C-alpha cells in the first residue's frame, strides 16, 4: 500500500509538472483555474468535511481575498504582501463567522452563512469607492519572483501549483496532528467531544478561520489569474458550487477537493466543447450530480471504502456459511 501511494504521488507530480507543457493557453488556464478551486475547497473541506460545520459562505472569503489583493495592488502595495494580508483578513472574518456556529448547527448554520455571503456580495457590488461596484477592478497584474516575471500563463500555473502543494502539505500536517482527531470528534459528536475535554468552541471557530484563510489565498490567486474581478463569481451560487465540489469529491477525504474541483470546474468546460452536447451541458452536469448523490452520497472517494466493505461482508458471510456447513457435517457424522 505504501509503495502504491508513493508511485501514485510520483506519477501525479510528473503529470502536474509536465502536462501543461503540452497544452495550449486555454488548457493551462483551465488547469490553473482548477488548482485555485482546489485550494479554496481544501479549506472548505476542513470546515465542512472534517469539522462538520455546514458553511455556505466560502465564496465570500474567496471574494474578500480577491478584492484584498486587487485593491492593495492598485494602492501600489506588493502582491507578496497583498496575499498574506488577504489570508489574514479572511482568517479574522472567518473567526467571526464561526460565532453563529456556536449557537446554531446544520441547515440553520447553512442559512446563517448564506446570509453572510449575501451581505459580503452586496458590499462588493454597492461600495463602488472601494470595489468598483459592478464595473469591478481590471488590469490586475501577476506577481514576479526574484526578478522573474510570472506574467505568462505557464509560469503563473507553476506558481499556483506551488501554493496548492504547500497549502496541501500544511493541511495534511494539521489533520495528522491531534487537531485532526479533535476536528473529527467535533463533527461526529460535539457533546461527547466536550465531555472529553475537547474545546469545541475554539475548534469550531478555527475550522472556520483556517478554511476561510485558504479561500482568501485562493481568491488572491484567482484575481491575478483572471486579471479582472467583479462581484458575480463571489455570489451565493459560487458558495453552493464549492460546497458541491466538496460533497462530490467526498467530504472528510483529504483528496476529495482535488477530484471535486475537477468535476466542478473541468467537466462543465469539457462538456461545453463536446459537439452535440454544447446546448445540454448544464442539465447533463446537474443530472450527473443527482445520480452521484443517489449512488455515492459520501462522494467519489468513498467508492474504494464501499468496495472494501462489500468485500468484507461477502467474506464474512462466506465464513459463516462454511462454519455452518462444517457444524452440520460434524453433526451428521457423529
Partner 1 sequence: MSALLKVTDLKKSYGAIQAVGGVSFEVQPGEIFGVIGPNGSGKTTLFNSMLGQITPDSGQIELKGENVTQCGPMELNRKGVGRTFQTLQVFGKMTVRDNLIVAAQEHQGTMFSRMFAPGDSGLGAKADALIDRFRIRHVADKKAGELSYGQQKLVDIAMAFMSEPDLVLLDEPCAGVNPSLVGGISTLLKDLNRQPAGAKKSSFVVIEHNMDFVMDLCHRIMVMVEGKVMAIGTPEEIRGNKQVLDAYLGA
Kindly state the cell numbers that stand for 252: 472528510
- CB 200, min distance to partner 1, A: 7
Question: Does residue 212 interact with partner 1 by CB under 8 A?
Answer: no
- 16 burial (CB, 10 Å; 0-12 / 13-18 / 19+) is middle
Question: Does residue 289 interact with partner 1 by CB under 8 A?
Answer: no
- CB 189, min distance to partner 1, A: 6
Q: Which range of residues in 20-28, 75-83, 183-191, 274-282 is near partner 1 by CB under 8 A? A: 183-191
- 117 burial (CB, 10 Å; 0-12 / 13-18 / 19+) is buried
Q: Which range of residues in 100-108, 176-184, 239-247, 267-275 is near partner 1 by CB under 8 A? A: 176-184
Kindly state the cell numbers that stand for 85: 494580508
**According to CB under 8 A, which one of 25, 106, 149, 202 is a site residue for partner 1?**
202
Distances from the Cα of 279 to the Cα of 271, 273, 288, 291, angstroms: 9, 10, 16, 20
Question: Does residue 181 interact with partner 1 by CB under 8 A?
Answer: yes
Q: C-alpha angle 91/93/96, rounded to 5°?
A: 110
**According to CB under 8 A, which one of 96, 133, 180, 233 is a site residue for partner 1?**
180
Determine the Cα–Cα distance for residues 269 and 41; give it in Å rounded to an integer.
18
- CB 131, min distance to partner 1, A: 35
DSSP for 281-312 reads: HHHHHHHHHHHHHHH-TT-GGGHHHHHHHHHH
User: Taking CB under 8 A as the criterion, which residues in 249-268 touch partner 1?
Assistant: 252
**According to CB under 8 A, which one of 105, 118, 189, 227 is a site residue for partner 1?**
189
Give the CA dihedral 283, 288, 290, 291, nearest 10 degrees.
140
Q: Which range of residues in 8-16, 174-182, 278-286, 316-324 is near partner 1 by CB under 8 A? A: 174-182
For residues 242 and 58, the answer to whether their CB atoms sit within 8 Å is: yes
- CB 15, min distance to partner 1, A: 29
Question: Does residue 296 interact with partner 1 by CB under 8 A?
Answer: no
Interacting residues with partner 1 (CB under 8 A)? 174, 176-182, 184-185, 187-189, 191-200, 202, 252
Amino acid at each position: 500500500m505504501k509503495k502504491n501511494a508513493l508511485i501514485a504521488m510520483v506519477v501525479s507530480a510528473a503529470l502536474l509538472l509536465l502536462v501543461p507543457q503540452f497544452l495550449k493557453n486555454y488548457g493551462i488556464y483551465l488547469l490553473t483555474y482548477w488548482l485555485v478551486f482546489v485550494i479554496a475547497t481544501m479549506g472548505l473541506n476542513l470546515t465542512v468535511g472534517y469539522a462538520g460545520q455546514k458553511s455556505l459562505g466560502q465564496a465570500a472569503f474567496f471574494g474578500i481575498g480577491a478584492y484584498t489583493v486587487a485593491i492593495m495592488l492598485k494602492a501600489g502595495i506588493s502582491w507578496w504582501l497583498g496575499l498574506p494580508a488577504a489570508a489574514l483578513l479572511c482568517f479574522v472574518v472567518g473567526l467571526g463567522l464561526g460565532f453563529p456556529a456556536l449557537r446554531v448547527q446544520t441547515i440553520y448554520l447553512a442559512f446563517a452563512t448564506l446570509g453572510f455571503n449575501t451581505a459580503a456580495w452586496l458590499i462588493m457590488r454597492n461600495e463602488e469607492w472601494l470595489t468598483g461596484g459592478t464595473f469591478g477592478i481590471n488590469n490586475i497584474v501577476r506577481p514576479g519572483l526574484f526578478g522573474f516575471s510570472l506574467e505568462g500563463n505557464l509560469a503563473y500555473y507553476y506558481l499556483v501549483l506551488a501554493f496548492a502543494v504547500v497549502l496541501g502539505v500544511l493541511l495534511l500536517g494539521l489533520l495528522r496532528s491531534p487537531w485532526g482527531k479533535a476536528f473529527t470528534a467535533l463533527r461526529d459528536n460535539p457533546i461527547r467531544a466536550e465531555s472529553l475535554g475537547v474545546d469545541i468552541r475554539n475548534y469550531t471557530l478555527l475550522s472556520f478561520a483556517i478554511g476561510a484563510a485558504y479561500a482568501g489565498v485562493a481568491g488572491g490567486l484567482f484575481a491575478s489569474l483572471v486579471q479582472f474581478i467583479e462581484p458575480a463569481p463571489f455570489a451565493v451560487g459560487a458558495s453552493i458550487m464549492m460546497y458541491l465540489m466538496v460533497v462530490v469529491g467526498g467530504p472528510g477525504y483529504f483528496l476529495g477537493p482535488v477530484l471535486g474541483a475537477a468535476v466542478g470546474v473541468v467537466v462543465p468546460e469539457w462538456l461545453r466543447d463536446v459537439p452535440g452536447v454544447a446546448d445540454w451541458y448544464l442539465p447533463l452536469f446537474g443530472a450527473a450530480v443527482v445520480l452521484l448523490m443517489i449512488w455515492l452520497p459520501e462522494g467519489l472517494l468513498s467508492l474504494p471504502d464501499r468496495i472494501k466493505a462489500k468485500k468484507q461482508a461477502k467474506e464474512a458471510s462466506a465464513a459463516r456459511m462454511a462454519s455452518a456447513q462444517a457444524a452440520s457435517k460434524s453433526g451428521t457424522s457423529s
